[in-house]
Structure 1
Amino acid sequence: MTQVGHIVIGLIVVIAAIYLFIFVTQRLTTRQVAKLMIKLQTLKDIPMQDRLVKGRKMSLMGQTLDDFQENEALYNRIVATDFDDVKQQADQVLASAQGFNIWQTNQDLRNLKKRVDQVARDIDTVNQGLTDLEQIDAEHKQAVQDLELKYKNLRKTLLSQNFIFGNTLDKLEDILGELEDEFSEFSNRTENGDHVAASEIYESLAMETNQLEERMDQIPGLVKDLSTTIPEQQEELQATFDQMMEQGFTFKDNFVEQALKQIEEDRKTTLEALKNLTLKKVQEQLTTLHQEINQIYKTFENEYQASQIVQKKLDELREYLGHLQQQNQNLNQLVGQLNQNYIFNHDEENSIRDLSRQLLQVEKDLDSIRLGINKKEVVFSQLTEKLMVDENQLDQVEEQQIGLWDNLKVLPEIVKTAQNKVELFVESMRKIKRRVERQGLPGAPTTYLNFFDQVSEMLNKLQQQVNAPRVNVDDLQRQVSIVGSDIDNLQVATNELLANATLTGILLHKANQYREYPEVVQAVQNAQVEYNQFYNYEKAVEVLGQALDRIEPGTTEILREQNNQNRLI
């Protein structure tokens, strides 16, 4: 095929494609126009004219009439011009679709859609306007019926139950009258079809009516509280106060009289606030009133309970005081008896006198409280702390009495124990003396003899002290402790003395085995001098031990250990 042939075939294909595209576009445009015409017919078929006729039959006025006429004019324009204009515009779109100017056809189709959508929106506007008008007309007419019935019932309640509203009745009737006047205006506006103006009236009218109903619900309870409940409580409080005063009760700083007076003033102030319908303030003041009333009830209860505690505590403390006074007398008698045989060092007599003064002061306090009760001059709640102080004082006195009693009663036992110890001391001294004598020593060191004599002398004095007509117990106990310690020390010194004397003999016997050693012979001579002339047995052991240990190391310690073991046996 030649090149020209190919070109021809290409042109035929392009032309066919263009023709096909134009054909399809024409069919789509025709179909879309048909859909728009169906939508337009649907809008025409809406029975809007019947609703407009119904609206014209309403007695409309004011802004409501203006709104209706605006919607009616809009719909008349749609019927008179818009429907036909849209139909003509659709025919134009179909006509242009038969040509080859596809861009112009699409532009015309878009304009047609916009025009149909605008007509639909305008009809919706008219439809909504009429719906709102019908709805508000029905609501207002229903509101007129409801409010008329409500006001009749409110008026009936105020007339038939005026007593439950107390001093608020006139104010409530005035408010109801004002609402009824506003209701007449609302009813007239509704009847005349001026629903815009009626809506403005109804908004405030409904709110004020609800407020009135809420007040009428709250006020009877507040009136009852202020006119019945609180006055009854005031009477009860006053009667209770008078009765308690007759029974001897007194209240701090005239609290109850002032509180009752304040309650009455607050009640009157709250009634005035109630008359002005300031209900929030009334409720706040009522809370304060009830708190004041409860405080008085609480005060009565506290004082009554305090009186029971005080009366009981007074009897208990009086009995307690009598017991301690008797015990103080017993202590005084015991001191008098023991004073014949014992010398006191802890000022017991003055301690007992001081306790007597304390008991006397408590007795004066209790007498003063009893006198105040009899004269009806005391506040019971203020006495409980004072009685607690007195009770603590009595507890301290009793504690001191018990301590004194224990210390005094044990004096004979202490002396008896000391006598027994002295007898044991005497026997110990005898045993020590016999042990030394049985040893058959040539003598004893001066220091030991002086110590022995010193202990013997102290023991003699202790014997005299423990058997004296009047014993100083504290000093006796100290001397018993000292002498006992000295005898223990003397016992240790005696043990060492006898041990060293025996060990000297053992070492001398051991030294005889080493006569060939001159130093041993010399040591024996020196030891005998210490033993027989100076009685320094410890020195004799030292001299012999050093000589023997040089010849046979450890000899002295071994013999000392054996000696100690034999002494234990």
Structure 2
Amino acid sequence: MIVLIGIVILAVAAYVGLVIYQQRIRRQVATLTTKKEAMEAIPLKDELQLVGQLSLTGQSLEDYENLQADFSEITENRFTRIDEQLAQLLSDSRGVNLIQLRRNLNKVTTLITQTDELIKSVQEQLTHLQDVDKQHRQAVKDLEQKYQDLRKTLLAKNFAFGPSIDGLEEQLSQLEDNFDTFSRLTQEGDHERAADVLEQLHDDTDVLESLIKAIPPLYKDLTVTFPDQVKELKSGYQQLTAESFQFGDQDVPGLITTVEEHIKSNLETLKDLRPDDAQVVNERIASQIDSVYDLMQMEIDAKQPVESNLDGVARFIAHAQNQNHSLMTELDRLSQNYTLDHQELETARELNEQLRSIDGIYQRDIQDLTGKTATYSQVLAHQKQQQKDLEQIEQQQADILKSVAGLADEERQARNTLQQFDFDLHSLRRQVENLNLPGIPQNYLDYFFVVRDEVAQLATDMDQPQIDMERITKQLLIIQTDLDTLQDKTDDLIDSAELAEQLLQYANRYQTSHENVAQASKEAADLFENKHQYAQALETIATVLDEVEPGSYKRLEDAYYQSKGKRKPQRESTDKK
């Protein structure tokens, strides 16, 4: 019973599903039928008839005939097939073959979609043919008016185009011939070929219009502006030469002739309808004209400062020559007593030669100015360079004088210092001799004699007929350093010897009670009396005293320096703590 109920339920469900699907199919058929009726309502036939009235020919006619064939295919074939398939689908929707039903639905849907797309394509192409026809007919009117305007411009202003007028009129005639072809093709309805002609017409018309716009200003420059400037240049040159202006190696008439030749050749460039090339040459001509103007103006501008500078340059040269004469006289005098180590005389002679050269150029410029053969710009350039060179020479003269001005003072100061060095040496020698030492350490004597010889050599160099003050100055610095060192060595010698004597006397109190003190005293006495090694003798006795009586050496040393009234030297001490 349960199985039977289940079967009944499944059967009912299947039936209900089938009925629902059949109803869905019928609704889709109704929708497709409505869409097909909408396509039929499109006035495609009227649009074809309207375009057919355009009297199309050539490729346009062929395109129209193809559209007519598409229309026939739509109305006579596709609509019939759609009706048949929709009727069959509606009939089949009562059956139970659902797979075949879906397949047929897809098939008729595709056919309707493709037909709709074809109708839209036909409409678009018909609209395009109408638009092209309209555009071409309007282009005929526009171009006809434009060519009339261009023709009027060429006739009314032919003077503004010069040699280019023939070429421009020839181009316009060619355009009008091509326009006639375009107009004929448009009237015949061959819009495909007309479109090609129209594109070329637009390009060629743009070229002609750009030529008509570009040529007049170029031609005006070549026939009015430049010739007027050339005339002015010639007049100006004649006036300047009459006033004795010179232009050096610049061939002004030749430059003007070159400009005239370029003007003439550029007119031929315009005749060939090459305005871009003519523009480049015009710019070059303008630059050449400007350069000639600048050349003339440069000479005009140079005249006044040249004449104003003449006296000033002459005075500057004379002043520098006098200065150099005084400098050489002073150097000659100083060279009798001093060695001049920095080629001061040679430099002064070179400056004298430079002054001669400057004066020679100045004198030639004066002659040219007097003879009216001078180029003012060149003379002005000479004057500027002379001013610069004379200022440099004057500075060099001052530097040389400054470098030798203090030689006499330096000599006096050096002699005073030499005298002090000699006094210092004798003072140090007396200090050592007053100690009445048994002998002087050899290393001290060697250093003393070196310093003594340096002072002696300085004295010899100072007594020469010609004194080399640069060398003297170096010797002074060296000797001063060596004397300072000798002073330190002398102080060390005196302090070591006197301290050693005091410590040896102090050590006598321990000789009988301490054998090591007796032995050290003997060694220190030998170093002092026989070997004259006073610092070593001090160290020997000081070391053993600090062992016997700690701190005794420092106490005796401090007392020594205090009694001398001088500060204990900061050096390696022999204090053995």
Please indicate, yes or no, whether the TM-score normalized by the shorter chain is above 0.5.
yes
| Cα distance, 1:325 vs structure 2 | 1.8
Match of 2:194 in 1: 198
Contact 1:226–1:271 (CA<8 Å) still a contact in 2?
Answer: yes
Aligned CA distance change for structure 1 residues 500 and 115 (closer, same or farther; 3 Å): closer
Aligned CA distance change for structure 1 residues 46 and 463 (closer, same or farther; 3 Å): closer
Partner of residue 363 from structure 2, selected from 361, 367, 382: 367
Match of 1:85 in 2: 80
Match of 1:13 in 2: 11
| Cα distance, 1:32 vs structure 2 | 0.6
| Cα distance, 1:89 vs structure 2 | 1.5
Aligned CA distance change for structure 1 residues 21 and 388 (closer, same or farther; 3 Å): same
Match status 1:143 vs 2:136: no
Aligned CA distance change for structure 1 residues 98 and 364 (closer, same or farther; 3 Å): closer
For residues 495 and 109 of structure 1, the distance between their equivalents in structure 2, rounded to whole angstroms, comes to: 134
Partner of residue 272 from structure 2, selected from 270, 273, 276: 276
Q: Percent identity?
A: 27
Between 112-121 and 494-503, report the one with greater CA deviation: 494-503
Match of 2:176 in 1: 180
RMSD between aligned residues: 6.3
Once the two structures are superposed, what CA deviation does each residue of 1:235-280 show, in whole Å capped at 9, x if it has no partner?
455555556665644355x365555444443333332222222233
Contact 1:48–1:127 (CA<8 Å) still a contact in 2?
Answer: no
AA aligned opposite 1:190: T
Partner of residue 162 from structure 2, selected from 162, 166, 169: 166
Contact 2:54–2:189 (CA<8 Å) still a contact in 1?
Answer: yes
For residues 86 and 510 of structure 2, the distance between their equivalents in structure 1, rounded to whole angstroms, comes to: 169
Contact 2:29–2:86 (CA<8 Å) still a contact in 1?
Answer: no
Query: Which structure 2 residues correspond to residues 269-418 of structure 1 after superposition, within 5 A?
Result: 269-293=265-289, 317-331=313-327, 334=330, 342=337, 355-371=351-367, 376=373, 380=377, 384=381, 388=385, 391-392=388-389, 395=392, 397-406=393-402, 409-410=405-406, 412-414=408-410, 416-417=412-413
Match status 1:46 vs 2:43: yes
For residues 367 and 212 of structure 1, the distance between their equivalents in structure 2, rounded to whole angstroms, comes to: 65
Aligned CA distance change for structure 1 residues 567 and 306 (closer, same or farther; 3 Å): farther
Between 66-75 and 273-282, report the one with greater CA deviation: 66-75
For residues 408 and 393 of structure 1, the distance between their equivalents in structure 2, rounded to whole angstroms, comes to: 21
Match status 1:265 vs 2:261: yes
Contact 2:133–2:191 (CA<8 Å) still a contact in 1?
Answer: yes
Match of 1:220 in 2: 216
Match of 2:569 in 1: none
For residues 498 and 93 of structure 2, the distance between their equivalents in structure 1, rounded to whole angstroms, comes to: 163
SS in 2 for 1:250: coil
Contact 2:545–2:553 (CA<8 Å) still a contact in 1?
Answer: no
AA aligned opposite 1:130: L
For residues 64 and 548 of structure 1, the distance between their equivalents in structure 2, rounded to whole angstroms, comes to: 136
Between 25-34 and 127-136, report the one with greater CA deviation: 25-34
| Cα distance, 1:295 vs structure 2 | 5.1
Once the two structures are superposed, what CA deviation does each residue of 1:18-61 show, in whole Å capped at 9, x if it has no partner?
8x726852773376157425623652452633751x44444444
For residues 552 and 56 of structure 1, the distance between their equivalents in structure 2, rounded to whole angstroms, comes to: 144
Once the two structures are superposed, what CA deviation does each residue of 1:155-213 show, in whole Å capped at 9, x if it has no partner?
11112222222221111111111212222232233233333333232222122112222
Match status 1:133 vs 2:129: yes
For residues 335 and 15 of structure 1, the distance between their equivalents in structure 2, rounded to whole angstroms, comes to: 139
SS in 2 for 1:277: coil
AA aligned opposite 1:199: A
Contact 1:302–1:381 (CA<8 Å) still a contact in 2?
Answer: no
For residues 10 and 477 of structure 2, the distance between their equivalents in structure 1, rounded to whole angstroms, comes to: 152
Contact 1:310–1:384 (CA<8 Å) still a contact in 2?
Answer: no
Between 496-505 and 238-247, report the one with greater CA deviation: 496-505
AA aligned opposite 2:188: N
Rg (Cα) greater in structure: 1
Aligned CA distance change for structure 1 residues 155 and 540 (closer, same or farther; 3 Å): closer
AA aligned opposite 1:97: D
Give structure 2 stretches of 5+ with no counterpart.
443-447, 513-517, 567-577
AA aligned opposite 1:32: V
For residues 515 and 118 of structure 1, the distance between their equivalents in structure 2, rounded to whole angstroms, comes to: 144
TM-score by length of 1: 0.67
SS in 2 for 1:43: helix
Query: Which structure 2 residues correspond to residues 505-544 of structure 1 after superposition, within 5 A?
Result: none
Give structure 1 stretches of 5+ with no counterpart.
none
For residues 121 and 552 of structure 1, the distance between their equivalents in structure 2, rounded to whole angstroms, comes to: 130
Once the two structures are superposed, what CA deviation does each residue of 1:517-566 show, in whole Å capped at 9, x if it has no partner?
xxx9xx9xxx9xx99xxxx9x89999999999999999999989877765
AA aligned opposite 2:204: E
Contact 1:65–1:194 (CA<8 Å) still a contact in 2?
Answer: yes
Contact 1:71–1:126 (CA<8 Å) still a contact in 2?
Answer: yes
AA aligned opposite 2:153: T
Contact 1:33–1:109 (CA<8 Å) still a contact in 2?
Answer: no
Aligned CA distance change for structure 1 residues 145 and 348 (closer, same or farther; 3 Å): closer
AA aligned opposite 1:46: P
For residues 205 and 273 of structure 2, the distance between their equivalents in structure 1, rounded to whole angstroms, comes to: 15
Query: Which structure 2 residues correspond to residues 69-84 of structure 1 after superposition, within 5 A?
Result: 69-72=65-68, 74-75=70-71, 79=75, 81-82=76-77
Contact 1:234–1:260 (CA<8 Å) still a contact in 2?
Answer: yes
Between 352-361 and 552-561, report the one with greater CA deviation: 552-561
